[in-house]
Structure 1
Amino acid sequence: MKANQLISLICLLSVPSLFWGCDRPEKSLSTDLPYRINWPDFLGDPEELTKLGSIAESIDYITLKTPDSAKVGMMFEMRITDNNIFVLDQTFSLFVFDIEGNFRTKINHLGRGPGEYPGLNGSMINVDNDLIGLHYGSKVFFYDFSGNPIKVTDIKYGSYPVSANWLTDDKYVGLMNVSPLTGESPDDISTIIFDTEGNVLKKERYFVEEKRPESMTSWVERLGHLTRIKEGVLVKEPYNDTTFIIKDDLERIPFIINYLGRHRAPREFLETPMSYNLGENRAPSDVASYIMSYRSFIYPAYFFVTFKNNNRNYSGVWDYRNMKAFSVSDAVAGLTDDIDFGLPFVSPRDGFIANNP
């Protein structure tokens, strides 16, 4: 295992004229409801494809400098704030670096004793309060950005979220589990909003159009996902194409995503490189017309998606404030003409795509 990991940062925010033009004011998400984005028909018109490298203004490489006693394993999550880089790896350890890649601390309390966690479902980086939340089951383990433990909170609800993300300085959104065959969760709740004390402030019921979808595309979307954007937390519900934003005022606002001529919610919003693979025995006969697997990522200003169709990689950059979209080919293996990138990670930092080549 290498002691130093190399990541790249691709700057998108510095070139607004490529997205909405210098003379066009930025559109607020609060003006048009529901929010709607349309994906260009790149399959019907290959000229709709754009090289992502032509959008990026700069590409910077940062070495994550780790001591021999704190090597980074396979990365599951990476988040970047104005001053820090956070990496959650396969050992359930959270590494904290400054923005230059210098090692700050490592959080690992794996175990079954007081203040220890037997595993992790994920991390919640609260950039407003410089607060790290590591959640497992009904418990959330809070630390400051230096790795000092603050408290352990129990979420006061009958079941626990499988993933969570921060909403405001003291509120979090948790995505609840569902039964894989029935599409039913306890009390039909898809998301809960809870505070740092574990009190549940609000519950959102979910809507299931078909509990056992026949089409493969719907079937692979049986999982729910959520991620943080500037306006709140974007949620994709399990078993259907319902996508919405939970805003800071706890209100639920529809967010409609259209691609390939249909309303489809991306299967994955998480800040991880994980993907879903469907076995050939489960694939329909007309598999070439379906999205086999894909990954999607949210940025404060742009929506970045990667997926595979008919054994070819595609991706898109959506300027969701102005509801414009750009399709990009060969995203995973060729963000630029001469550099081979690894899987992209999301970052809460404006306009940056982070990669681990």
Structure 2
Amino acid sequence: MQNWTCAGPSVVYPARLNDIPLSKTFYDDAHKGEKSARMLKLAGRIAASNADIAVISAETFEHADPADVKSAIKTYLPTYGNNVRVIAYVRPHADRLVSAYAERLKQGFFTGSLDELHERTKSAGNFQYYPRFSKWREAFGPAFELRLMSRDRLYQQDVVQDFLSFVLGHTDFTMNGDQGSNESLSLEDLAMLREFHLLVRNMKMHKKLIPARKAVGWNFAKLLTEMPRKESTRLRLHRALVPDVIETYREDAAQMDSAFFEGTPLSDALLEAGAKAVDEPQSFNAEDHFSKDDLRYIRGWSNLIADMLKLSPEGIPAHFRAAQATKLATKRKQLAGGMAK
């Protein structure tokens, strides 16, 4: 469990679990009506805290209109508006494609090939960064900071310590205890999760099971990263895909480098994508990675879990949220008390 100490200031994370529900009120029509209530609750929790700094964080804020976020801060958090700082992290384009594939596959949102995801995200413009981050900088000006998700650009080559240095405004802190695992899911892990999701998606009531299937996939994936295989295969682009990835994001990388970074880190990373690529497309079919006996176990457990999902489609996600909230509450107590004795 992550923990740290420093001489100050104190920090509070006001969300019970995370700020994804809040972020959805800025871009999801089904949740926009909740914005006022959630912002008022956030304001109340911050006001009730004695902490010097409040942290609001969710990757899904990337879908929000930054002008709307700034307006909401002005409306519901007027006392703090002039002290707001915003930080975002951006992955090099090729790495983002690979990580997005793993993230969507582990939750069952997508079970096609990496090539198919590239075509889908290319068409949607999902990883064209410059227009999106330009809007954040336009809304928040110097208060907006963009950092590259690359070890050589992060403080102590670690995103947690890098984020803490931004939040605290200094690096006079100490990381204590077990800092957790940074392992990524292996190709074998993803093939196993894909087998589970395919099975559930073929069930008659699969639409009702989407939240439960997502929760199982996400939490099982987390367990797997905490128990990494001694020998595993990393997810990679294949060489035939690299030229189109480079061509798709070349201009965006150049614009981002010019606007936000010293040097040309995103352009360099894009051109170096071929060096990390494998010769042939990787297979995500479970039968290509596991023996017949292993497949028997995987499919047996998958069927059993699928039957359990049908018993409580809503209860399973709620169970995992409660468990995560309990763990995070403990971490946040440590965070709030993370000052040197």
Interval of TM-score (by shorter of Structure 1 and Structure 2): under 0.3
Specify which structure has the higher proportion of helix. 2
- When the two structures are superposed, what TM-score results if normalisation uses the length of structure 2? 0.28
Where is the strand percentage greater, Structure 1 or Structure 2?
1
